[in-house]
């Protein structure tokens, strides 16, 4: 029996599996993704609320996070990130904004400043994460949109 696979399914499978950066470092790859046109939109929830945190986890794609306005007229919000592997992660943003990472118990994760891997990154932090879900607080910021890229080193 001759089974045929529709061309669009084959093309999609090849496109999804063709993530090759020809020996680029994880930091260089993160910079490429931060600057790339490809992104996914995430709307953060107000910090400290009871609403479910939106998931910004999507490997190799910048999250364009929309932050809600706070009472002071600046913007801040929270999202969640699932660390799929234990190790160090590089956090990059395209605007100057505070970033805080906390574990599921609310304990802050230590951050260290990262060297400047690219000119398009305004904030560069490295955090050590376990396989778990983390809360990321973004803000206060002067604008509602923040590009956030997280890459495993």
pLDDT given at position 13:
29
Average pLDDT score over residue span 5-28? 42
Q: What number does CATH give the domain 24-152?
A: 2.60.120.380
- Secondary structure of 29-63 as H, E, C letters: HHHHHHHCCCEEEEECECCCCCCCCCECCCCCCEE
pTM higher than 0.75 for the full model? yes
Residue 85 reports pLDDT greater than 80: yes
- pLDDT bucket at 92, cuts 50 / 70 / 90: confident
Sequence ranges of the domains in the chain: 24-152
pLDDT given at position 26:
61
């Amino acid at each position: 029996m001759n089974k045929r696979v529709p061309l669009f399914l084959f093309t999609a499978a090849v496109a999804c599996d063709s993530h090759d950066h020809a020996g680029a470092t994880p930091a260089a790859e993160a910079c490429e993704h931060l600057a790339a046109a490809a992104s996914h939109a995430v709307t953060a929830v107000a910090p400290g609320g009871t609403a479910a945190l939106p998931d910004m986890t999507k490997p190799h794609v910048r999250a364009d996070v929309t932050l809600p306005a706070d009472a002071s007229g600046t913007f801040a919000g929270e999202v969640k990130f699932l660390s799929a592997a234990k190790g160090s992660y590089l956090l990059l943003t395209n605007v100057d904004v505070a970033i805080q990472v906390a574990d599921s118990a609310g304990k802050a994760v230590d951050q260290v400043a990262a060297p400047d891997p690219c000119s398009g990154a305004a904030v560069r932090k490295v955090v050590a994460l376990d396989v778990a879900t983390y809360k990321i607080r973004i803000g206060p910021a002067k604008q509602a949109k923040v590009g956030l890229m997280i890459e495993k080193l």
